[in-house]
């Protein structure tokens, strides 16, 4: 909890200034976390009131309580957990393949001039094709089963990781490398102690970006054709006009995205604990 509170505090600073009285009462650290949730809660309250008053048709937007009930029913029947597990599995495997390849190739072409010459032109060309534009081709190649989804997610995740890793390796302070060499470091020790840690801030930016992208790609991949997953659940519910279930699916994506971002932040805080920006 405390580890999350700092960035939240920073992002909500203007709100704090606008409400000095409420802010002054609460102790320092929980205040930040609390203010961060203020806007979503107010929105919910307004939504509930609007639904109760009949300003919103339940087909357009059912009341929050109905959404909550739908979520409860889905999780009680176990359906929600099944879809969640399938989606998470797809996200994790797609991320592992895409980010793993991006990291390896980024390290390779960042470190070796020959690898850069060989790879970079091709990758820069492919990079400009939006991953989602590949959908027709992907369906032709892989059909509509799991491989297609894995491929889409991997391709989308690959480029932010590759580019940031490449950039990170290239922008390591040359003075530090020169210093380390004059202290007798070369080969793997030089790589491990100087180049890799120097590139790490940039690599982590790439990972964080990729983690956000995973869900975007997955949503699209799952709405094309699937037999399970949050996307399938949502599309299925649309057919039966279950707006409450559709909303559960959408909110789940928001929650999972937030979770992925929190994980990325935790990684940054751990690996960059030497950095003044994370102390």
Does the footprint of other proteins cover residue 185 (CB under 8 A)?
yes
Does the footprint of other proteins cover residue 184 (CB under 8 A)?
yes
Question: Cα–Cα distances in Å, from 25 out to 16, 36, 41, 226?
Answer: 12, 16, 20, 50
- Residue closer to other proteins by CB (options 36, 201) is 201
In the list 14, 54, 78, 175, the residue contacting other proteins (rule: CB under 8 A) is 175
Does the footprint of other proteins cover residue 187 (CB under 8 A)?
no
Contact between residue 230 and residue 84 where contact means Cβ atoms under 8 Å apart:
yes
Does the footprint of other proteins cover residue 270 (CB under 8 A)?
no
Residues 6 or more apart whose CB falls under 8 angstroms from that of 86 comprise 228, 229
In the list 42, 52, 124, 178, the residue contacting other proteins (rule: CB under 8 A) is 178
**Alpha-carbon distance 114 to 125, whole Å?**
18
Listed residue (109, 93, 235) closest to 166, CA to CA: 109
Does the footprint of other proteins cover residue 191 (CB under 8 A)?
no
Q: How far is the CB of 275 from other proteins (least distance, A)?
A: 7
Does the footprint of other proteins cover residue 197 (CB under 8 A)?
yes
Q: How far is the CB of 4 from other proteins (least distance, A)?
A: 22
Residues 6 or more apart whose CB falls under 8 angstroms from that of 267 comprise 204, 207
Q: What is the DSSP letter of 227?
A: S
Q: Is 265 exposed, middle or buried (0-12, 13-18, 19+ CB in 10 A)?
A: middle
Does the footprint of other proteins cover residue 200 (CB under 8 A)?
yes
- Residue closer to other proteins by CB (options 136, 277) is 277
Q: In the range 84-103, which residues lie near other proteins by CB under 8 A?
A: none
Interface positions with other proteins (CB under 8 A): 175-176, 178-180, 182-185, 193-194, 197-198, 200, 274-276, 279
């Amino acid at each position: 909890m405390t580890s999350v509170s700092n960035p939240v505090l920073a992002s909500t600073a203007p709100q704090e200034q606008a409400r000095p009285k409420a802010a002054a009462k609460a102790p320092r650290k929980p205040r930040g976390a609390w203010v961060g949730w203020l806007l979503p809660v107010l929105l919910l309250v307004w939504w509930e009131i609007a639904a109760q008053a009949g300003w919103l048709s339940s087909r357009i937007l059912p009341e929050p309580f109905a959404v909550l009930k739908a979520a409860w029913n889905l999780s009680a029947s176990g359906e929600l957990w099944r879809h969640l597990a399938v989606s998470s599995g797809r996200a994790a495997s797609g991320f592992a393949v895409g980010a793993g390849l991006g990291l390896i190739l980024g390290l390779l072409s960042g470190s070796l001039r020959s690898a850069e010459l060989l790879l970079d032109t091709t990758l820069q060309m492919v990079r400009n094709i939006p991953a989602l534009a590949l959908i027709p081709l992907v369906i032709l190649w892989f059909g509509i089963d799991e491989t297609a989804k894995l491929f889409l997610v991997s391709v989308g995740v690959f480029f932010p990781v590759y580019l940031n890793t490449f950039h990170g390796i290239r922008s390591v302070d040359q003075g530090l490398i020169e210093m380390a060499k004059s202290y007798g470091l070369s080969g793997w020790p030089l790589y491990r102690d100087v180049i890799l840690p120097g590139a790490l801030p940039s690599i982590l930016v790439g990972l964080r970006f990729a983690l956000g992208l995973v869900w975007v790609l997955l949503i699209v991949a799952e709405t094309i054709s699937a037999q399970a997953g949050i996307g399938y659940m949502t599309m299925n519910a649309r057919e039966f006009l279950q707006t409450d279930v559709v909303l559960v699916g959408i909110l789940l994506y928001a929650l999972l995205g937030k979770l992925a971002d929190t994980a990325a932040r935790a990684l940054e805080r751990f690996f960059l604990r030497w950095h003044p920006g994370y102390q």
